[in-house]
Amino acid sequence: MDAPLETVEFFARSENRVEVLRLLAERSQTRGSLADATGASQATLSRILSDFEKRSWVQRQGGEYVATATGCLVARGFTDLLEVLATEQKLREVVEYLPAEELTFDLRHLADATVTLPTGTRPDAPVGRLLELERDADQVRAFSHAFNERSLSLIAQRVRNDELAFEGVFSRDAIDALVADPDLRDRLTTLLDADGAAVRVRRAVPLAVTVVGETVHLLVRDESGVLRASVETDDPTVRSWATDAFEEYWERGSDLDRTDLFE
């Protein structure tokens, strides 16, 4: 009997093996349908199916093949492993900056996430992506340790024009930074005066998360505050996490109004 790692090596050496077992775990197949789906030759399929039968991963039923219970187990487990590794590769460049202790969902839910990195020609690409989302939204909720100048300007304008409903919870440091700049303080005042906006403040917010419709957008910075990436996804589990986190920060925050800006 092969050791588990030897079995993994046997299975992983051939993409055709992985695909054939995956297809058979979904439903019974003929050799012809497997050939059409994989592009593998009949000789290759004969070897694969013979190897699988020896391991009791598949069995013949008339002119068709079907995965056994253990074959389905292997197919499911290997598919999960591939998804984990694909997610790891996607997050590899930003994992050291992710606030892992705050991301209480399984990172596998970021498998389909889009990671936007700064480039030499577009150092603000992560923020640029956030602005694209905010320009097309009719509702935005955010909780963050910072309020980007460009995002503030866009949101204030769209809320004032009755194009957007906005709710935000920001750290005290983020609000103080805006108040210290007269121009930004005026934009924040405009936002607070609008009927479609509500802003709360908390002593600290360790994340920079924006929920735009069905999309969750996370800005990722290093310990020095340098923007490293943005991660966005429409995964329902991540959206549920972001919604719950927003509501928790909201409940623990206090209302911010224009009088707080001129004390």
Decide if pLDDT at 188 tops 80: yes
Average pLDDT over residues 130-139: 95
Decide if pLDDT at 206 tops 60: yes
Same domain as 72, residue 16:
yes
Residue 247: partners with Cβ closer than 8 Å, 6 or more residues away: none
* Alpha carbons 136 and 51: distance in angstroms, whole number: 53
Task: State which H helix or E strand residue 78 sits in.
Answer: helix 69-91
CATH of the domain at 160: 3.30.870.10
- What tens digit of pLDDT does each residue of 10-64 get? 888 889 999 999 999 999 999 999 999 999 999 999 999 999 999 999 999 988 9
* Alpha carbons 150 and 165: distance in angstroms, whole number: 17
% residues pLDDT > 70 (the chain): 98
pLDDT of residue 159: 95
pLDDT of residue 262: 62
% residues pLDDT > 90 (the chain): 73
Same domain as 256, residue 167:
yes
Picking from 87, 114, 139, the residue at the C-terminal end of a domain is 87
CATH of the domain at 62: 1.10.10.10
pLDDT of residue 99: 86
The first and second tokens of residue 83, run together, are: 């998804």
* Alpha carbons 192 and 188: distance in angstroms, whole number: 6
Decide if pLDDT at 263 tops 80: no
CA 107 to chain centre: 8
Picking from 54, 87, 120, the residue at the C-terminal end of a domain is 87
Domain extent, residue 36, equals: 4-87
- What tens digit of pLDDT does each residue of 143-155 get? 999 999 999 999 9
pLDDT of residue 258: 73
Same domain as 244, residue 128:
yes
pLDDT of residue 2: 66
Mean pLDDT estimate for the chain = 91
Find out whether 217 and 130 touch, Cβ atoms under 8 Å: yes
Confidence band of 114 (pLDDT split at 50, 70, 90): very high
Same domain as 113, residue 17:
no
Letter for the amino acid at 164? L
Overall number of domains in the chain: 2
Confidence band of 93 (pLDDT split at 50, 70, 90): confident
Picking from 53, 87, 121, the residue at the C-terminal end of a domain is 87
- What tens digit of pLDDT does each residue of 213-257 get? 999 999 999 888 889 999 999 999 999 999 999 999 999 999 987
